[in-house]
Amino acid sequence: MRYSFHFLLLLTGIAFQLAGCDRKGNRVTISINHRPAAGDTVRIFRANMVNLDDIELGKVVLDSTGKGVAQFELNAPVFAYARAEHLATGFFIEPGNDVAIEPPKPKGTLSVSYEGDGAAVNQFINEAGQFRHNLEKWNGKYAIQLEMDEFLKAKDSLQRGYDQLFNKLKSEEKVSGDLLDLLARHIEMSMLLYQYNYALGRDSSEIPDPVRQVVNKMPIDTIALKTGMYDYALIASFFYQHHINNAIYDKNKAMDSDSLDVIFPLLVEEEIKSNKYPKQIEDFLRVKSADCQIRMNGLTPSMIKLAEKLEKEIASGEFKSVIREDIARWGKLGPGKPAPVFSGITPDGKTVSLADLRGKIVYVDIWATWCGYCIDEFPDSKKVQAEFQGNDQVAFLYVSVDRDTLAWKKMVAAGKVPGGAAYAQWPGCA
């Protein structure tokens, strides 16, 4: 009974769904009163757990006083976000909720406060998020730059802060046991991500034993997946990149790259299935893997076969739609078709766009700091670049798909990426 608690998680999920259905139908109302965002368009969205894209739920243009109301249908409880030029906040909503985003309370430390359904829960979510943000640095250093002992102290401090906020929330009479359980998971995922971020890019000997034990396994939580916890999606991405994708490349270093590319999707499938995850988690990882492979390598014949297999075997329509969109996107990239215009940010903060290079032959290298296979090819890229030195009709664009901006900038600054080229950060599956 390796995953014996999975049944309990499933029951909790059913309880949340039923709780939502007993209320005011499925319509959710988000009322906003935030004067600094007057005139802004506020988007309400949740995260796509596979590719981390936004799934829009609704939007509203605030009036001259910063007020507006967004309404939309919601079928299941979910963590969501409101974003505008002058507003950024996250909250948890259930079908039928009426949520009010209000000005900050007197002597409050947050930029907003919450009223209406789930007010105490949403206040907690934002207070916890702010506390986590405040611990990005410990004694003047970013957490990922700390030595092992110092990092463990920072981690323990983060946990204590979360515990204090959670104990305060437990005193709220209107917060159910199910919601407390959900928010305990939310804290757990934040703590796990804090440790994953620290472990990235470090040798095993540089990672404290308690942290290494945590980051070497995929957390199994169907509720975190079902309710759209963004931190859980990031953890799954990191786990796939380092413990599946990179691990398979490392195991097959002796094989030539072309041969490995042909069988790589099959090897990933075998690795995921060998762990005997619950069906929902297995489907999630299979689709996440396929999405990343298509984004990085395109629609190879082996990926087309895998996509057809996933279409038949994956239960979730939302998961399958990710692969369908990937296929449609890459279908526009056939020989002779115009290249899609994309843009990114250079290390010095400037925007670079493929449109700026129109009329030139452009060599585009898609890479990431976590992709050892990509970095191994940089020496060959440098040789190609050297052959065209002085030819202003040929341009080289190295596009990072990292979400870890600090790791990307650090590698560029260290001169590990071919020099004399344009660097850009292009968020993708990383």
Q: Which amino acid is at 161?
A: G
Give the pLDDT mean for 241-253. Answer: 90
SS3 26: coil
Predicted confidence (pLDDT) at residue 20 exceeds the cutoff of 50? no
Closest CA relative to residue 79, chosen from 189, 243, 211: 189
Name the more confident of 137 and 312. 312
* pLDDT value at residue 225: 98
Displacement of CA 380 from its chain's centroid (Å): 31
Both tokens assigned to 350: 């400037």
CATH topology for 24-117?
Answer: Immunoglobulin-like (2.60.40)
E strands in 307-414: 343-345, 351-353, 361-367, 394-400
Percent helix, percent strand, percent coil in the chain, to nearest 5 = 50, 20, 30
Query: Using CA atoms, how far apart are residues 184 and 169, in angstroms rounded to an integer?
Result: 11
Task: Please report where in the chains the tokens 């910063």 appear, as a residue.
Answer: 66
* Range(s) within the chain of domains with CATH label 3.40.30.10: 343-425
Q: How far apart are CA 143 and CA 389, in angstroms?
A: 40
As annotated, the residues of the chain forming the CATH 2.60.40.180 domain(s) are: 24-117
Average pLDDT for residues 322-328, to the nearest whole number?
94
Q: What is the pLDDT of residues 341-396, one digit of tens each?
A: 777 777 777 788 888 888 888 888 888 777 777 888 888 888 888 888 888 899 88
Q: What is the pLDDT of residues 51-100, one digit of tens each?
A: 999 999 999 999 999 999 999 999 999 999 999 999 999 999 999 999 99
Residue type, 81: Y
- Provide the token pair at 298: 């395109």
Token readout for 137 is 């640095």
**pLDDT for the residue 1:** 35
C-alpha dihedral sign at 6, 7, 8, 14:
positive
Q: How confident is the model at residue 167 (pLDDT cuts 50, 70, 90)?
A: very high
Judged by DSSP in three states, 79 sits in: strand
- Letter for the amino acid at 51? N
Q: What is the pLDDT of residues 93-141, one digit of tens each?
A: 999 999 999 999 988 889 999 999 999 999 999 999 999 998 888 988 8
**Is the pLDDT assigned to residue 48 strictly greater than 70?**
yes
pLDDT at 316: 95
Calculate the average pLDDT of the chain.
87
Domain 343-425 belongs in CATH node 3.30.1330.80: no
- For the segment 230-249, the average pLDDT, to the nearest whole number, is 93
Q: Which class for 209: exposed (0-12), middle (13-18), buried (19 or more C-beta within 10 A)? A: exposed
In the structure encoding, which two tokens stand for residue 190, read together? 């934040």
Helix (H, G, I), strand (E, B) or coil at 57: strand
Smallest CA-to-CA distance from 352 within 398, 393, 392 is with 398
From the number of C-beta atoms within 10 Å of its C-beta (0-12, 13-18, 19+), residue 70 rates as buried
Determine if the pTM surpasses 0.95. no
The answer, yes or no, to whether residue 422 has pLDDT greater than 70, is no
Number of residues written out for the chain? 430
